[in-house]
A = this chain, B = another copy of it.
Amino acid sequence: MTVSIAHLGPTGTYAEAAAIAYASWLTEETGQETILCPYPSIAQTIKATAQGKANIAVVPVENSIEGTVAITLDTVWQLEILQIQQAIVLPISHALISLAPNLNTIKTVYSHPQALAQCQGWLEEFIPGVKPLAVNSTTEALQNLNQDIYAGAIASTRAAEIYHLPVLAHPINDYPDNCTRFWVLSLQPSTSGTHTSLAFSVPANVPGALLQPLQMFASRGINLSRIESRPTKRSLGDYLFFIDLEGDASQTFVQSAIAELAAYAETLKIFGSYKIFTKLP
């Protein structure tokens, strides 16, 4: 069977680079063939996999500079049925790509909102007054360059090579230690690993709502590597909490913490246990 891997497209995105890394790992581990399936948005990438149109989705979940990719958390919470198979951390190094003769002639810069945010200091310093325009992906941004010589795009040098476009500056991210964590999602049950992700809502606005869950983990010596709040979308001040814990859901102390949390939470969703792979630059 050929494994289809959905990712944010078109070809050349950072998500595709993460999907390629996962595909190589999978082929090496299992001998399975893979095929990459680009989708126009992160939400559509995840939904296609939930509907069985693709076997795997590789999506960004957090960047070291800009933080959470909210659409990923919101969609995974909503759809409920996907499980995390693996996390991949990739270094991110942005380039300013343009057909303009030099930086001074660039009037607008297209990119994904996360990439624009990760380079905002550089843009202010080197192309002051430039107008940022956010599109669905870093490589969708490149499609604007052929129509407009005074436009620039922020994407990877890999994308510039794929589309035969010139790099005017690189690297341009404001912080050198820029990396993104991706989740590999599928309808298969997750296997096992060093980390477990879950999310829960609590009965509306009880005082100390987050304290008790944190105590459930701390009292069992379970470290939480990440705590993220997202709105429930019911009313302002009403939150879901996403937690990554260090441990596997099959360990008895993790199981007992999760059982205690299930009794306390209004809704609890477990997204699986998995290993984190880090690719060096």
Binding site for B on A (CB under 8 A): 43, 62-67, 70-71, 89, 113, 117, 120, 131-136, 175, 177, 179, 181, 207-208, 210-211, 214-215, 218, 221, 223-231, 233-237, 239
Q: Would you call A226 and B227 a contact (CB within 8 A)?
A: no
**Could you list 5 examples of A-B contacts with CB < 8 Å?**
A64-B231, A133-B135, A134-B134, A208-B218, A226-B229
Residues of B contacting A227 in the complex (Cβ-Cβ under 8 angstroms): 210, 227, 229
The number of times this chain is found in the oligomer is 2
Q: Which residue of B229, B236, B239 contacts A179 across the interface (Cβ within 8 Å)?
A: B236
Contact A236:B181 (CB < 8 A) given known A226-B229, A227-B229: yes
Q: Would you call B134 and A233 a contact (CB within 8 A)?
A: no
Measured CB to CB, the nearest residue on chain B to A228 is B229
Measured CB to CB, the nearest residue on chain B to A66 is B70
Q: Would you call B133 and A233 a contact (CB within 8 A)?
A: no
Determine how close the nearest CB of chain B comes to the CB of A64; give it in whole angstroms: 4
Measured CB to CB, the nearest residue on chain B to A223 is B207
Measured CB to CB, the nearest residue on chain B to A116 is B134
